[in-house]
Structure 1
Amino acid sequence: MRTLEHPGVEELTLDAVLSALADPVRRIIVAQLDVGHEDQACIAFDLPVSKSTSTHHFRVLREAGIIRQRYAGTAIRSSLRREDLDARFPGLLDAVLRG
């Protein structure tokens, strides 16, 4: 089974999280995951970019520790790591999503 690497909670850094969330397309992805697109395939998101660019955005979010991704057949499913982010940086995600 193929797996993707994710940083542990203790490895999450404020710089990496804020850098990843600085991009408006990535904030769209996070906002959609936060309101019910939990465990959705990347193609389920309506994004204003090409497929290859959206793949890049998902990778940046995963490597920053904002989302968790897993293979489901040939699709990659994404979920928001809200509990991990709230534990490491209380209130940050809510503040970003409200902004």
Structure 2
Amino acid sequence: MNLFTVMTALSDPVRLSIVTTLSAQSEVACNCFDLPVGKSTASRHFRVLREAGLIHQRDMGTRRINSLRRLEVNRRFPGLLDLVLREAATNASADR
């Protein structure tokens, strides 16, 4: 996990919304996210987050379950995830 890859992954609004959702819920299936993109684009966003080390995915039957790797990210970059999520919430409330 490297900082540049993590920050690049978090810089996209769709990926940031995925991470924000996962920070509020422990596990979410891919098809339960309300994303403004098609299925193949959503798959790419999940792949970028997984390869950056931000999320963990596991298969459960026909569903792919996502979870945020908060402990691992915090261990490597203490406070980064909280800062990014706080800024995302601030920007979301300012946009309303």
Q: Shorter-chain TM-score: what band? A: 0.7 to 0.9
Alpha-carbon offset, residue 40 of structure 1: 1.4
Aligned residues: 87
Unmatched runs of 5 consecutive residues or more in structure 2 = 88-96
Q: Which residue of 1 aligns with 2:11?
A: 22
TM score, norm. by length of structure 2: 0.88
CA distance in 2: counterparts of 1:52 and 1:43, whole angstroms: 12
Aligned partner of 2:37 in structure 1 is 49
2:21 alignment partner in structure 1: 32
1:79 counterpart residue number:
67
Tell me the percent identity. 56
Corresponding position of 2:47? 59
Partner of 2:86: 98
The CA deviation at 1:73 is 1.1
Determine which structure has the larger helix proportion and give its number.
2
Amino acid at match of 1:54: A
> Deviating runs (4+, > 4 A) in structure 1?
none
Deviation, 1:74, is: 1.6
- Which one scores higher on RCO, CA 8 angstroms, separation ≥ 6? 1
TM-score (norm 1): 0.85
